[in-house]
Amino acid sequence: MLSKKIEKALNDQIKIEAESSQIYLAMACWAEVKGLEGVAGFMYDQSQEERDHMLKLVKFVNERGGHAQISALKAPNVTFKSFKEMFEKLFEHEVFVSESINELVHISLTEKDYATHNFLQWYVSEQIEEEAMARTILDKINLIGDDKGGLYLFDRDIQQITIVTASSETPE
């Protein structure tokens, strides 16, 4: 059974994950109309992934005797000065989500809710990967600079970007 404090914190995270999905959907739309089909496809995938993260939380809250709340969302930014700025915003947002997940983990420990703590470890690992991916993409964008040929190759190759982090490696 979830405490009221944990239920509220999980519901707050549900909203954050839903807003993340909307943010990335807006980024996908912006990239698509700019002709960045690879970036758009990547962002559509990210949007779906965030929605999946939200649904996983919804199911957990309901299965643990709580009531998942679906609330109004903040409208995302829909324009960017450049694709670099867009990915900088993506990175900042992932850092924000990581901080939110870490706070949830802290609450689960203070409430001695070890089932929720255990459930949240997947999100902790996921955020390590999300931040690493965003950082890697920004590094690549900084290498490209203003080179249009580099942007073309980046747009073509972004859907193949996979990040292996220390937390995602399996010990042999």
Question: CATH number for the domain including 107?
Answer: 1.20.1260.10
Q: Is residue 172 part of a domain?
A: no
Rounded Cα gap, residues 57 and 120, in angstroms: 9
The per-residue pLDDT for range 103-146, each reduced to its tens digit, is: 999 999 999 999 999 999 999 999 999 999 999 999 999 998 87
Q: Which residue range(s) make up the domain with 145? A: 4-160
Q: What is the DSSP string of 71-91?
A: ---PPPP---S-HHHHHHHHH
Q: Is residue 135 part of a domain?
A: yes
C-alpha neighbours within 13 Å on the C-beta side of residue 53: 28
Q: What is the mean pLDDT of the chain?
A: 92
The per-residue pLDDT for range 39-49, each reduced to its tens digit, is: 999 999 999 99
Query: Tell me, what DSSP letter sits at residue 111?
Result: T
The per-residue pLDDT for range 21-71, each reduced to its tens digit, is: 999 999 999 999 999 999 999 999 999 999 999 999 999 999 999 999 999
Counting the structural domains of the chain, the total is 1
Ramachandran class of 165: left when φ > 0, alpha when ψ lies in -120 to 50, beta otherwise:
beta
